Structure 1
């Protein structure tokens, strides 16, 4: 069975969902990674959860670093394949992988040797939490190379129309992670439990296996990867094109995460337990945003290839199909978080005094899930058109607004809940604004190349 889907022909809904469903499943698998860690760490206690939350912020930050290579590589590979230029696509893939390896080395070294001041930023009060957070950071980010390679390869494969291989690789990683987590956290037989460090080791080992599965799949590929030469020089023009597309997306992710880190520092003022609530609540909420982000990757490749082929009408139809699907998904997630918050949060945190805080987090964030899904889907489509700078400006401006919103709202009777309302309000604004932006941008696209050629032929 051919794993690659033709995004340039055939029924749009079938092509788009055929590519998107494995990506969404992959996103759910990645979410399961995080939730598995959180479920086992939750049994250790909320202080351990707070430690993983603080150290995990830098894992999240790393995704902004790799976004330059991933987004730039994915979009340019899609554009090249849409034009039918496989050699050019291979050069872009090579350049993206080279950047990823360089970024992984620099980021890994920086976080490993700078763990103390990096964790110190959050102002945590408990010495054991601080120590565990540093350990988690050193392991997960010091060996970030596997995560970076997996992210870039996933992007390239998605641009090729292959979303099944990343799903297969991540399922293997999830199974391994689920087995290793309890063994390395609590111990088994001669294996001594390592707590937070065990969770970090399990995650890195699973990511390494995923990388090996990807490498095995790449060796069998005859569309693109057999032409990829990671250790050959890539021209500056190709690197510059990757940077031009990827840099705005990278800056957007870095600023977004930095804002979240500032807000985490702000939340620490309400106690270390509040950090645990933020960490667990965010992981639970990821059921919507990681799935939407996966669908966004599909619409990114769909739009990228069809834009490269000059099929602009198909670009528009593809976006509205994706937007409709994601709005319904977001609505479902909203109902889930608002109707069953206590049951869901109670799966991960077991201290009775912490659960009410988590319940309020889920209910408040439940009101914005459909708008957040629209935001991520539209970012994927606009990025496929090469409009990454526009996406970055909107995201940075309105995500930054969360800081003053949180300061104002939390100073009222809302208290900590005011911070959660800051998240929700900004997501609603961004979802509406991104949708309107796509309407404007898509309205300026020219007619399809094939239609124009037909009209010229009749003249």
Structure 2
């Protein structure tokens, strides 16, 4: 069988920068949106097909999901920075070496995380003050997710490899396949067989498996991998594993530190009762969905900046980042208006209880007003990472925790609106920090 040509990859170091960014961004956005369909379908089927409390149970595990899976997935995203830089300078031998080592790292770390976290899960849920009437469902749901963590991480590694090479179309196709499979399995397992939240978790893991199989097949068909991968730890005098860990672990910790801030908010919401937990879960579903537009713009910049960093084209990086900021701003205008003007209508998609829906009317408009800062945060964060600096973005995650904790203890305990203010304060603080960092780093690159 003839191998696939390199036409699916995209070298972003030449040509019209805005066109390159947009062409990469569009499939990436659709892919991320389809990924969100996993969560949205779970929520609609669980909330409408079982109960609002079942939805609260799935939502209560969401921050732990981000904390644990976010660590491993963040690590793969960090690896992608090195992949993109190698591709930008056309060092395909080193690229193959990095990918070979990254597969071993992902499998090993995923297995350790799975075992340790399953053993500690019930204690973590109790520590978060998960309400007694939803803790068992939350435990069952997340245990199944943890069992499948290796599949999830390998799927994200495969997607990262493709995106680092400028291919955002294949991940989109994978997301479409897995999303459709997830919908069918959700309906069959939850509504058909009636096995509750366990069915939603099983459907999510299997959907990740389908995505991984498809992406892995496509990677094997790319011409630059038509050679035996390096298995040695040392290539051209570099310790491949150390290089990967050095750039990947800060991104992993950044995700987990950011998730810790989410756990702080979840803790305070849990103290309010299961009704507020359900409202918070619904609101954060929309937050996760709407942030995909700014996040996709940011991820586009990580690939764009990473490739051009490898090629040493700093003026092109500056121009591209300005265009990325403009893209994120324009995209967020209609999304912000939806949350500000139609919070009740949005809440009714997931929820049935009028009182719980009323809580969302205090929460969503605040997120909408601050959505622009979140988009700019993503563009600067991923641009700085693309430059090879993953330490400061990790510190920005710590700043997010500090901001959430500070606002929670001052106004977050008083009302559900205070919880929303705690969330957006973290966005604004991290955005300012990363914006300053980007211009400082680029200034130093110019002088080098």
TM-score (norm 1): 0.91
Q: 1:254 aligns with which of 253, 256, 272?
A: 256
**Structure 1 match to 2:276:** 274
1: CA distance, partners of 2:13 / 2:428:
33
Q: Give the Å deviation of 1:68.
A: 5.1
- For the pair 1:175 / 2:180, whether they are aligned, the reply is yes
**Structure 1 match to 2:191:** 186
Q: Give the Å deviation of 1:233.
A: 4.5
1: CA distance, partners of 2:400 / 2:120:
30
Can you give the 5+ residue segments of structure 1 that lack an aligned partner in the other structure? 449-459
**Structure 2 match to 1:384:** 386
1: CA distance, partners of 2:211 / 2:155:
7
Q: RMSD over aligned Cα, in angstroms?
A: 1.8
Residues 280 and 348 in structure 1, CA contact (< 8 A), matched pair in contact too:
yes
2: CA distance, partners of 1:53 / 1:226:
45
1: CA distance, partners of 2:145 / 2:229:
28
Can you give the 5+ residue segments of structure 2 that lack an aligned partner in the other structure? none
**Structure 2 match to 1:234:** 233
2: CA distance, partners of 1:54 / 1:226:
46
Q: Give the Å deviation of 1:225.
A: 6.9
The count of aligned residue pairs is 439
Q: Give the Å deviation of 1:113.
A: 2.9
Q: Give the Å deviation of 1:166.
A: 0.7
Q: Give the Å deviation of 1:150.
A: 1.3
**Structure 2 match to 1:420:** 420
**Structure 2 match to 1:10:** 15
Residues 403 and 425 in structure 2, CA contact (< 8 A), matched pair in contact too:
no
Q: 2:79 aligns with which of 58, 68, 73?
A: 73
Cα pair distance change 1:67/1:202, threshold 3 Å: closer
1: CA distance, partners of 2:74 / 2:100:
14
In structure 2, the residue corresponding to 1:444 is in which secondary structure?
A: helix
**Structure 1 match to 2:145:** 140
Superposed CA deviations along residues 380-399 of structure 1, whole A, max 9, x for unmatched, are: 10000011111111231233
Q: 2:109 aligns with which of 100, 103, 107?
A: 103
2: CA distance, partners of 1:182 / 1:45:
15
Q: 1:408 aligns with which of 384, 407, 410?
A: 410
Written as runs of structure 1 = structure 2, the 5 A alignment for 1:429-448 is 429-446=429-446
Q: Report which stretch shifted further, 212-221 or 374-383.
A: 212-221
In structure 1, the residue corresponding to 2:446 is in which secondary structure?
A: coil
Residues 72 and 96 in structure 1, CA contact (< 8 A), matched pair in contact too:
no
In structure 1, the residue corresponding to 2:61 is in which secondary structure?
A: helix
Residues 288 and 373 in structure 1, CA contact (< 8 A), matched pair in contact too:
no
Q: Give the Å deviation of 1:122.
A: 2.1
**Structure 1 match to 2:215:** 214
Q: Report which stretch shifted further, 425-434 or 88-97.
A: 425-434
Cα pair distance change 1:72/1:322, threshold 3 Å: same
Residues 295 and 377 in structure 1, CA contact (< 8 A), matched pair in contact too:
yes
In structure 2, the residue corresponding to 1:89 is in which secondary structure?
A: helix
Q: Give the Å deviation of 1:218.
A: 2.1
Superposed CA deviations along residues 10-68 of structure 1, whole A, max 9, x for unmatched, are: 00011111111111111111111111111111112221011101223332123332145
Q: Give the Å deviation of 1:217.
A: 1.2
Runs of 4+ in 1 over 4 A off after TM superposition: none
Q: Give the Å deviation of 1:411.
A: 4.5
- For the pair 1:398 / 2:410, whether they are aligned, the reply is no
2: CA distance, partners of 1:405 / 1:370:
20
Superposed CA deviations along residues 109-159 of structure 1, whole A, max 9, x for unmatched, are: 1233333212222222334x1111111011011111111011111111111
**Structure 1 match to 2:313:** 311
Superposed CA deviations along residues 202-256 of structure 1, whole A, max 9, x for unmatched, are: 1111111111111221221212375446xx3434711111112112211111111
**Structure 2 match to 1:90:** 96
Residues 84 and 306 in structure 2, CA contact (< 8 A), matched pair in contact too:
yes
Q: 1:329 aligns with which of 328, 331, 336?
A: 331
1: CA distance, partners of 2:78 / 2:91:
17
2: CA distance, partners of 1:375 / 1:227:
39
**Structure 1 match to 2:204:** 203
1: CA distance, partners of 2:73 / 2:375:
19
Written as runs of structure 1 = structure 2, the 5 A alignment for 1:94-133 is 94-127=100-133, 129-133=134-138
Q: 1:356 aligns with which of 355, 358, 367?
A: 358
